[in-house]
Each structure stands twice: as structure tokens, then as C-alpha cells.
Amino acid sequence: MPTDFQTRFERYAELAVKAWLNVQRGQRLALVAPLEAAPLARVISKYAYLNGSPFVQFLWNDSEAARIRFEFAPRDSWKEYPEEFALLAQRALERGDALLSITAQDPDVLRGLDLEFVSRAQKVAAEKNKPVQDAVRRNQVNWLGIGMPVPAWAKRVFPALSEQDAVARLWDAIFYVCRVDEPDPVAAWRAHAADLGARRAILNQKQYTALHFYGGETDLTVGLPQGHVWVGVTDTTPGGITFVANAPTEEIFTLPHRERVDGVVTSSKPLSVRGNVIEKFVLTFQGGRVVQIRANQHRDVLEKLLMTDDGAARLGEVALVPHSSPVSKLGLFFYNPLFDENAASHLALGSCYAQCLQGGVEMSDQELTAHGANDSLVHLDFMVGSDQINVDGIGADDTREPVMRAGEWAFAT
Ligand code: ZN
Ligand code: ZN
């Protein structure tokens, strides 16, 4: 295992370009990154060029500048949006560019701000970016989201360490969960993808009508629509490019039926919502909709998010992750859903992924809804799995089969 930072950093960038995003010879790359991630973005561009990409376009963003706006801009200016920025991303997708987004954000960047203004402005941004989000959701191009430590994020994860040590420790954690330190990272990724792929195939063949999550305070039945498709690990574009959309990735997931979720579910890990960390909350569902929220803190933040639109209070994703996944084994809360959602089985409030429904990618919004798929401007993952949670698959004839026991896979491949 390589121990020097530069080698691991380069391996990470190379895995991103080759093993995950799978940039094609002749394919341009659009790289969305915060200013802080410039060093990583540059190394990624090097591997993109080495892999035959003719051009890498950088789309920079700046969360500190955004914070200054949220704090000082006139309160009636929430409608302002740089149309050109959304158009650049849209053009890139139309051209068939690969899309890579780096997350390197202070999880508390929005703390203490005027929530009303922030959520209005973020809603405008989500609306302007909907064509891009939809194209991504439909896997129109190969895309990838990865993370990179910044001091504020690292200090949040390791508050007792110095800034420098915290960043180093967070890098170690990212390299570990991304299997960068395996003797042969590419081979390790292939083995991992093969195992999850086999489970995905079995669940697709089973076509359970619902999953029952139970254990601890959780007792929740999640209906699955007819023709649901389990996806995860790898995706394929209409043009046939296979890629890994999120690294690390430990989940396989599908969509719940927007009207058939009933019972009570308890979060099993802290959740970061718009810069506020909620340690624990309990949601009660009836007919697919959240009818009660209990939380020991920031209940208003969660409630506000659920009121974004009708779909925000319904589920768009159900994902299975074994309790023994590297992210879970590490036992670290990353304060970043890109990592934390790989720590446990989870649900997401809000939009679903159209490819989780047979023929879904070609369906109109109305058709998707008619098939039980949920739509929303938000997509918020929250963890529900732990070593206490069992999952049963319920068949069309009401028979039950074990899918997970005490947080681990309970069927053979
Ligand atoms: Zn997920
Ligand atoms: Zn999700």
C-alpha cells in the first residue's frame, strides 16, 4: 500500500477518471468544483487528457461567496440567479460531455443564516438547474460525484485535531472507503461491483411488492411499484458508457411507491440539513406521506424542507447497504451525504431516479407519477439501517423472505 500522500492523491484522481467516471477517448469533461478543490480538479484534468479527453471545462463555485450573499444581499433579491451558469452545464450535457462534481464544503457554511432567504434562493437555483438535474437523473451522460477535504469540513469531522492533522485524517478516511489503498484498487473495485451487481440482479428477479424494515423503534413497510428496478454500483448511459456515479458506493437502491409507505422509521445516524445537524428524528408515514416529525433539534428545518413541494414529504429512494461496509466499519460521520449514505441502509425524501422504473427514463412526469414514482425539487437521504435492523421482502402472495438480518445480507448470491 502506498503511504505517501501524492501517490494516493494521484491514484484517487486516476480511479475517478478511469474506474468511476470512465471518460471516453474524444469525450469532453465538464468539471464542477468549489475553488478550494482546485488542486484535485487539476490532477483530474491531467488524467482526463491522458485518457484522450480533448478538453476539460471548469465550472467553479464558491460557497464562501454564497454565504456572503445570503448574509448581506437585499432580502428581496432571492430570485437572482446566474442564468449563464445553468446554461453552461446544460450545453455540456447536450454535447455529451462527461460530468464530474467535486464536493469540498464546510458542512456548517449556512449556519446562522436567514433560513427563509436561503431556502427561497436555493429553490430558485434548483428550478434553474432542473433540466441538468433531470438529464443527470436519467443518466444521459456519464457523471460522477466525489469528495475532497477542506479545513472547515475536516475540523467538523475531527474537532480535536489541528486543521492540518484533521485534513490529513479525512484524506486517509476517504482513501480507505474508496479502496485507494488496496494493492490493486481497480481489481478491488471490480470484485466489489460484481458482488453488489449479483445482489441487484436477484432483487430485480424477485420483484417484491414491499420491503419491511423492523428492529429497534423502526417498523416501516415500504411499498415497491410494479416494474421497479434495483440499480446501483454501476450505471449505463443510453450510448452504452458504463460508469460509477458516486464514489464510494456501497448501496443498491430502487424507488418506493409514492403512496404505499406506512409506519414509523427512526434515523440511525445524524443528518445534515442545510448546514444544521439533526442527531436523531422519527418520521411517521401514512399512505406514503410524512404525517408526523419528531426530532430532538432543528425540527423546523426538517419541516420547512418537507414543505418545499408535495413530493418533499414522500419517499423517492430506498437503498440497502450492509452494516459491514467500509464507511460503516470506519465508524466516522463525514457530515456529507456522499459518504454518509454509504454507512447504512437509507431512505430519501423527495425525487426518485427515473431509471429505477422499467421504461421510466422515457416516461413523462405524469406517467412517472401514475406509476408511483415521486417527484420533488429536493432529494434528502437519511440513514435508517444499523445492526439492529432486519429487512424482509414481501412477495405478491404475501410470503416473506429475509433480505437482511441484523444489518447484513441474508440471501446467497
Ligand atoms: Zn442512496
Ligand atoms: Zn439518495
Structural domains of the chain sorted by starting position, each given as residue range(s) with its CATH number in brackets: 5-177 (3.40.1830.10), 207-229+251-409 (no CATH)
Q: In this predicted structure, what is the pLDDT of residue 272?
A: 82
Does the pLDDT at position 92 exceed 70? yes
**How remote is the CA of residue 249 from the centroid of ligand 1, in Å?**
9
Between the CA of residue 363 and those of 138, 356, 360, what are the distances in Å?
11, 12, 5
Does the pLDDT at position 122 exceed 60? yes
Helices (H), 129-178: 130-137, 151-157, 163-177
Cell of 302: 426538517
Task: Kindly report, residue by residue over 290-343, the tens digit of the pLDDT.
Answer: 999 999 889 999 999 999 999 999 999 999 999 999 999 998 988 887 888 899
Percent of residues, the chain, with pLDDT higher than 90: 73
Q: Which ligand is nearest to the CA of 349?
A: 2
Sign of CA dihedral 262, 209, 366, 238: positive
Of residues 287, 197, 280, 246, the one with CA closest to residue 379:
246
**How remote is the CA of residue 337 from the centroid of ligand 2, in Å?**
8
Q: Which ligand is nearest to the CA of 379?
A: 2
- Going by pLDDT thresholds of 50, 70 and 90, the confidence category of residue 108 is confident
Does the pLDDT at position 198 exceed 60? yes
Task: Kindly report, residue by residue over 174-194, the tens digit of the pLDDT.
Answer: 999 999 988 888 778 878 888
Which residues of 171-314 form beta strands (DSSP E)? 210-215, 218-223, 231-232, 235-236, 242-243, 252-254, 261-266, 271-273, 276-278, 281-286, 289-295
Residues in the 5 Å CB sphere of ion ligand 2: 317, 348, 381
**How remote is the CA of residue 337 from the centroid of ligand 1, in Å?**
9
How far apart CA 105 and CA 85 sit, in angstroms, is: 19
- Going by pLDDT thresholds of 50, 70 and 90, the confidence category of residue 2 is low
- Chain centre distance of CA 100: 14
Sign of CA dihedral 86, 57, 51, 180: negative
Q: Please, how many CA atoms are within 13 Å of residue 376, restricted to the half-sphere of its CB? A: 24
**AA letter at 68:** I
Q: In this predicted structure, what is the pLDDT of residue 193?
A: 84
Q: In this predicted structure, what is the pLDDT of residue 1?
A: 55
How far apart CA 235 and CA 299 sit, in angstroms, is: 35
Task: Kindly report, residue by residue over 53-80, the tens digit of the pLDDT.
Answer: 999 999 999 988 999 999 999 999 999 9
**How remote is the CA of residue 377 from the centroid of ligand 1, in Å?**
16
Over residues 347-366, the mean pLDDT reads 93
pTM, two decimals, is: 0.78
**AA letter at 141:** V
**How remote is the CA of residue 318 from the centroid of ligand 1, in Å?**
7
Task: Kindly report, residue by residue over 241-297, the tens digit of the pLDDT.
Answer: 989 998 899 999 999 999 999 999 999 988 888 778 899 999 999 999 999 999 988
**How remote is the CA of residue 293 from the centroid of ligand 2, in Å?**
20
Q: Which ligand is nearest to the CA of 232?
A: 1
Contacting residues for 357 by C-beta, under 8 A, at least 6 apart:
225, 227, 228, 229, 255, 363, 368, 371, 372, 373
Cell of 328: 460503516
